[in-house]
Amino acid sequence: MNDQLTPINKDHLKKLIRAELELTWFDNKSSSPDMSWVTPTVLETLFTELITHTRGNQSKAARMLGLNRGSFSKKLNQITSNKLGLVESL
């Protein structure tokens, strides 16, 4: 059994998302909050932190996500291009 702590506290992540949604829970005017920023932000953070953590080793970073290196590399290129403003959407 793996007794290591997970690098991401899932409960904390859930609390952050719920806190963002809670702002509109009782407000009928804005009952559909804009959460479109969550996925791109999480992906950008995850991929850039993994590539930093693995000291640029894309194969190792890809394995940590359960992806092949090609898929990881493609997504990383999309993220870095988007971050630099070269691509408008992921």
pLDDT of residue 70: 97
Q: Where are the domains of the chain?
A: 7-35, 37-90
pLDDT, tens digit, 9 for 90 and up, residues 19-49: 888 877 766 666 677 788 889 998 999 999 9
| Spatial CA neighbour of 23 closest among 39, 34, 7, 14 | 34
6: pLDDT confidence band, cut at 50, 70 and 90?
low
Neighbours of 74 (CB within 10 A): 12
- pTM above 0.85? no
